[in-house]
Copies of this chain bind each other. A is one copy, B any other.
Amino acid sequence: MTALPALRPRSGAGVAERLARSTAATEGIGMATDDVPGWLAARTRARPARVRRIPFAELDGWSFADDTGDLRHHSGRFFSVEGLHVVRPDGDWQQPIIMQPEIGILGILAKEFDGTLHFLMQAKMEPGNPHLVQLSPTVQATRSNYTKAHGGAQVKYLEYFLHRGQVLTDVLQSEHGEWFFQKRNRNMIVEVDGDVPVDDDFRWLTLGQLGALLNQDNVVNMDARTVLASASMTHPEPRALLSDTELLSWFTGERTRLDVRARRIPLRQVSGWLRDAHSIHRADHRFFRVVAVAVEGAAREVSSWTQPLFEPVGPGVVGFAYRTFGGVPHVLVHALAEGGLLDTAELGPTVQYVPANHAHLPSVRRPPFLDLMLDAPPDRIRYAAVHSEEGGRFLNAESRYLIVETDESTTPAQPPPGYHWITPGQLNWLAGHSHYVNVQARTLLAALNTRAADLDHEHRRP
């Protein structure tokens, strides 16, 4: 007779409370928050890397396939640039798209010190990052990374995410549906008990410290932000404008209504885009271009390499309109269909645009709520920081992320079709599952989860 297995509480009692304690901890057992940017700069200097634009012809191991024109690595691994034909009821278009069918791991290791959870963050260089080195998860590994397609070094700490530790968060999340075809990564937080050797490029930080750092420009990378968004926090909101069932029903209706079909096509066939020696771009130079870079002297799995990157044509603006109803905070989400999403639509921020793409439009045809973010008076801004998207795929893909307090005159309680007011807790609840919250909304959710956003502002006014 084997021993009966032990039952455990379904709710994983105490995790949200322990995360809240870490959020309240403005300093931890390790590096002071104020020292982190300097440490990132020092890590950059310690192993200086140079990122240089090159023509496609200088790519090493990458080439355009004779038949399809797709841009691929000769190993068949990493990723490829192919074509996508997106059909929506209001029109259709073609574009280059990144194909990367493997599911990678974005994992943050957690450990309690003096009763407070700390998170092991890495100073990691990515060629597309504005400052090159940003704070990233403990592990940020494509399957090619950890099966050694690079032919490079071991991924440090990976074994904690494959074999051991107590899982606090583990969910597949989508990434940029306008640039990736059905890309997902596994977002994990794993807690360990025993001693963890800490390498030079790693530091233990509390959620409170990470929240403070999320208020600075280009410090916390996208991969870290999405993992922080996926953690199940305490948001004490028993009441909301919509019950959870009504919220799911509204979103089910939006997903039913937003009819988007996407079909892969050879890159060669993509119409409206031109390829020259240095880039693939639209004839009107809107949206983004595909470029190539050489990375030299980097302290990564391999010390130098070349690769393609997607480069948006200008900085983006990503923001939530924010209001309180009955004292309960709500943000205005937008059910947003993107051609590269596996399941049609996800909840995005109120605003998610590159203004340069719409500069030629008359004001009445500009994207809804965009001017509300561009023209927000400083005293209504509850969160603002510039962040860049995944620097391993995107070059200088910076956006100003905002949470702006608005009112009935600009953002009515009864919003236009496709939008709804939901609470940060509801957004966090949905981010515990796949297919609900897009990657831009998850950056803003990370700011809400870690209290980087100053939602209590009004209550502290004299």
Q: A-side interface residues toward B, CB under 8 Å?
A: 1-2, 4-12, 15, 101, 103, 167-172, 186, 188, 232, 237-246, 248-249, 252-253, 255-256, 261, 325-326, 328, 342-343, 408, 412-414, 423, 425-426, 432-435
In whole angstroms, how far apart are the Cα atoms of A342 and B262 in the complex?
Answer: 13
On chain B, the residues within 8 Å of A240 by CB distance are 7-8, 10
Select A238's contact among B11, B188, B261, B414, beta carbons within 8 Å.
B11
Task: Give the residues in chain B near A243, CB-CB below 8 Å.
Answer: 8-12
Closest to A327 in B: B7
Cα distance, A452 to B103, chains bound together (Å): 40
- Chain B residues near A9 (CB, 8 Å)? 238-239, 243
Assess the A328–B7 pair: CB atoms within 8 A: yes
A46 to B154, CA, bound (A): 73
Complex: chain B residue closest to A244, CB-CB: B10
Those 5 A-B pairs whose CB atoms lie nearest each other, nearest first: A170-B249, A7-B239, A12-B243, A167-B249, A7-B326
Known A8-B242, A9-B238, A10-B243: A434·B325 in contact at CB below 8 Å: no
Chain B residue with the shortest CB-CB distance to A429: B10
Chain B, residue nearest A104 (CB) = B256
B170 and A248: CB pair below 8 A?
yes
CA A239 to CA B10, docked complex, whole Å: 5
B-chain residues with CB within 8 Å of residue A414 when the two chains form the complex: 5
**A425 CA to B7 CA, complexed, in Å:** 14
In the bound complex, do residue A245 and residue B5 qualify as a contact, i.e. CB atoms below 8 Å apart? no
Q: Name A101's contact: one of B2, B246, B261 (CB within 8 Å).
A: B261
Asked if A168 contacts B11 (CB within 8 A), the reply is no
Contact partner of A237 among B10, B103, B241, B433, CB < 8 A?
Answer: B10
A101-B261, A103-B255, A103-B256 provided; 16 other pairs, C-beta below 8 A?
Answer: A2-B412, A4-B326, A10-B238, A10-B239, A10-B240, A10-B244, A11-B243, A12-B243, A15-B245, A167-B246, A168-B245, A169-B245, A170-B252, A170-B253, A171-B252, A342-B342
Q: What are 22 A-B contacts defined by CB distance under 8 Å?
A: A2-B412, A2-B413, A5-B414, A7-B239, A7-B241, A7-B325, A7-B326, A9-B243, A10-B240, A10-B244, A10-B423, A10-B426, A11-B238, A12-B243, A170-B245, A170-B248, A170-B252, A171-B248, A171-B252, A186-B252, A186-B256, A232-B245
Query: In the complex, what distance in Å separates the CA atom of A343 from the CA atom of B433?
Result: 13
**Which of A8, A15, A261 is packed against the most chain B CB atoms within 10 Å?**
A8
Find out whether the CB atom of B343 lies under 8 angstroms from the CB atom of A434: yes
Task: Say whether A244 contacts B12, CB under 8 Å.
Answer: yes
Given the known interface contacts A101-B261, A328-B7, A434-B435, the answer about A408 and B2 at a Cβ–Cβ threshold of 8 Å is yes
CB-based contact B5/A241 at 8 Å: yes
Nearest CB on B from A181, distance (A): 13
Cβ–Cβ contact B167 & A245, under 8 A: yes
Complex contact A435–B432 (CB within 8 A)? no
Q: For A328, what are the chain B residues with a Cβ–Cβ distance below 8 Å?
A: 7
Chain B residues with CB below 8 A from A426, complex form: 10
Give CA–CA (A255, B8) in the complex, Å: 24
Chain B residue at smallest Cβ distance from A426? B10
> Nearest Cβ distance between residue A192 and chain B, in whole angstroms?
15
| Closest chain B residue, CB of each to CB of A328 | B7
Contact A4 B343 (CB under 8 A): no
State in angstroms the CA–CA spacing of A345 and B325 once bound together. 40
Determine the residue in chain B with the shortest Cβ distance to A246.
B167
| CA–CA, A1 and B290, complex, Å | 50
Instruction: Give min CB distance, A392 to chain B, whole Å.
Output: 19
Complex contact B248–A432 (CB within 8 A): yes
In the complex, A426 Cα to B188 Cα: how many Å? 21
**Which of B101, B172, B249, B255 is the one whose CB lies under 8 Å from A252?**
B172
| B residues near A423, Cβ cutoff 8 Å | 10
Distance (Å) between the CB of A236 and the closest chain B CB? 11
Which of A6, A245, A412 has the most chain B CB within a 10 Å cutoff?
A245
